[in-house]
Amino acid sequence: MAAAYLDPNLNHTPNSSARTHLGTGVERSPGAMERVLKVFHYFESNSEPATWASIIRHGDATDVRGIIQKIVDSHKVKHVACYGFRLSHLRSEEVHWLHLDMGVSNVREKYELAHPPEEWKYELRIRYLPKGFLNQFTEDKPTLNFFYQQVKSDYMLEIADQVDQDIALKLGCLEIRRSYWEMRGNALEKKSNYEVLEKDVGLKRFFPRSLLDSVKAKTLRKLIQQTFRQFANLNREESILKFFEILSPVYRFDKECFKCALGSSWIISVELAIGPEEGISYLTDKGCSPTHLADFNQVQTIQYSNSDDKDRKGMLQLKVAGAPEPLTVTAPSLTIAENMADLIDGYCRLVNGATQSFIIRPQKEGERALPSIPKLANSDKQGVRTHAVSVSGKRLRADAAEPAVRGTRPRQAGGSSAVWRPRLLGQLVKVQRSNCLLCVMRPHETGFRVAR
């Protein structure tokens, strides 16, 4: 994991000259390129929620895992595996979930070429939930508070204007109770206290605009006072848990759903549901019971790619233990398939306690597959000599006259033969001898590629 550096000043801008505080044991190489990334999050501070962010300094080698780790470490988080990294385009609905192994500089170069940097929002979010997550989060207060602020923000942005008035009142009063937990249960009965809440703090922080616009001020005051009495004796944690209890029937914050199709062609349209309780399931109609497809501990590998049709949909394939063939899902786009793959991969890592990804990456641009080794005719095999090549301390034998790749590098000055050890998947050694290149690899390694 490549390290990132957290700037303690949340309002620090890229042009500021404030000194950076380095993490323990991390040294910055002289003259190394360093950039600044503003990451929004839901760790509570004294400023407005929309401004909660950390300024992270990173180098070319920093990956997403390093960014996440630096932020959560500063808040003493226990459930680190629950956190993900989301990139959103502010002027469209374009969303990318960035995998932990992605290089931050590569991500920025890729997406900031498509849109200016100021149009992108980098956001730390809780995405992968363990079973019984609320009970577990009560033992991890920073994560519980983070998740509450995240869900409350999503609720206010997405569905607050659509819920019943009674639910909106209860959820708003629970946030008042949580925010001002030291306030007496009858404090809002006093006119001056209510006016402070209404005018200085602002009711829009707690209640949706549809409620504030549809109810007269005097009536609204009475409704808020009556509702607040129901939660007068709750502490902060109890207010949070009650909030989730009331919200869960109308807003499923514990799973993600994707409109897609089962199979490699767009035939059976379904809604794929992914979450800690359902595992991987699908619904064909609203209101029907979900059909279970797989548990996360059954998933062995994850692959995604573009489909072969003209619409260039996204293809997601899961190798599931005990299944005769891979589970194939067709998504509307490759981006959605990537986001689904990241979600399933995060859950697989969480339930298995693993750090290594389950995703098999598609071939990158600029890479080419190694050609197959041609077979020699019997006449060509006469007089073939063999020699040994060492790979990771093991000595293997290879036919010296059997060419693996056509065309060889010219001999270096002095007539010595060059040995080329490129960085590949698996261990690959190419030896130039008698104008031939030999390829030696472990027997169990297949599908390797030549890196340019």
Residue 363 is predicted with a pLDDT of: 57
Q: For residue 184, what is the domain's CATH number?
A: 1.20.80.10
- Are 324 and 268 members of one domain? yes
Mean pLDDT on 97-112 = 95
What φ, ψ does residue 103 adopt, rounded to 5°?
Answer: -75, 130
Measured CA to CA, the distance from residue 328 to residue 316 in angstroms comes to: 6
Contact between residue 343 and residue 97 where contact means Cβ atoms under 8 Å apart: yes
Domain boundary among 83, 105, 128: 128
Give the pair of three-digit tokens for residue 321: 């233990």
243 and 139, same domain (yes or no): yes
Q: Are residues 264 and 242 in the same domain?
A: no
pLDDT > 70? residue 126: yes
Grouping H, G, I as helix, E, B as strand and the rest as coil, residue 37 is strand
Lowest mean pLDDT among 4-8, 64-68, 77-81, 204-208: 4-8
Q: Is the pLDDT of residue 344 over 50?
A: yes
Confidence (pLDDT) at 50: 79
How many domains in the chain? 3
Whether 289 is covered by a domain: the verdict is yes
The per-residue pLDDT of the chain, averaged, comes to: 80
Mean pLDDT over 441-451 rounds to: 41
Residue 49: what pLDDT? 80
Is pLDDT of 226 > 50?
A: yes
Same domain, 238 and 261: no
In a shared domain, residues 150 and 173: yes
The CA distance from 355 to 111, in Å, is 26
- Please indicate, yes or no, whether residues 343 and 271 belong to a single structural domain of this protein: yes
Residues 72 and 142 in one domain: no
Residue with more model confidence, 206 or 16 = 206
Query: What pLDDT score was predicted for residue 442?
Result: 42
* Domain membership flag for residue 3: no
Q: Are residues 274 and 346 in the same domain?
A: yes
Residue 364 pLDDT: 52
pLDDT of residue 359: 97
Q: Which of 352, 387, 414 is the last residue of a domain?
A: 352
419-420 vs 429-433, strand pairing mode: antiparallel
- Tokens 């006093």, residue? 190
pLDDT at 398: 42
Are 66 and 1 a contacting pair, CB within 8 Å?
A: yes
Q: Are 392 and 381 in contact (CB under 8 A)?
A: no
Interior/surface letters 188-226, b for 16+ CB within 10 angstroms, e for the rest: beeeeebeebeeeeebeebbbeebbeebeeeebbebbbe
**pLDDT at residue 284 in the model:** 87
Output the domain CATH number for residue 292.
Answer: 2.30.29.30
| Average pLDDT score over residue span 423-430 | 40
Domain presence at residue 118: yes
Residues 270 and 323 in one domain: yes
Q: How many CA atoms, within 13 angstroms, populate the side-chain half-sphere of residue 237?
A: 10
9 in a domain, yes or no? no
In this model, does residue 418 exceed pLDDT 50? no
164 SS3 class = coil
Q: Supply the pTM of this predicted model.
A: 0.74
* Closest residue by Cα to residue 338 from 68, 95, 1: 95
Query: What pLDDT was estimated at residue 403?
Result: 43
Domain co-membership, 182 together with 92? no
Q: What is the domain-level CATH number for residue 94?
A: 3.10.20.90
pLDDT at 404 over 60: no
Where b means 16+ CB within 10 Å and e means fewer, 47-61 reads eeeeebbbbbbbbee
In a domain, 276, yes or no: yes
Q: In this structure, what token pair is assigned to residue 309?
A: 């049709």
Helices (H), 40-164: 64-74, 104-112, 133-137, 141-158
User: Domain residues for 278?
Assistant: 256-352
The CA distance from 246 to 169, in Å, is 11
Q: What is the pLDDT of residues 141-188, one digit of tens each?
A: 999 999 999 999 999 999 999 999 999 999 999 999 999 988 888 899
SS3 96: strand
What is the average per-residue pLDDT within 414-427? 42
Looking at residues 56-79, what average pLDDT do you find? 96
Task: For residue 297, tell me if it sits in a domain.
Answer: yes
75 pLDDT band (50/70/90 cuts)?
A: very high
Examine the pLDDT at 79 and tell me if it is beyond 60.
Answer: yes
* Whether residue 79 is found in the same domain as residue 164: no
Determine contact, residues 95/64, Cβ cutoff 8 Å. no
Structure confidence at residue 361 (pLDDT): 81
Considering the domain boundaries, does residue 195 fall inside one?
yes
Chain Cα centroid distance, residue 210: 33
Residue pair 276/261 in contact by the 8 Å Cβ criterion: no
Q: Which of 122, 137, 116 is nearest to 55 (CA)?
A: 122
Residue 319 lies in a domain: yes
- Among the candidates 307, 335, 352, a domain finishes at 352
Q: Are residues 235 and 260 in the same domain?
A: no
- Average pLDDT score over residue span 321-345: 96
The confidence score (pLDDT) of residue 421 equals 43
- Helices marked H in 204-253: 209-214, 217-229, 236-247
Per-residue confidence at 139, pLDDT binned at 50, 70, 90? very high
Q: What is the pLDDT of residues 111-124, one digit of tens each?
A: 999 999 999 999 99
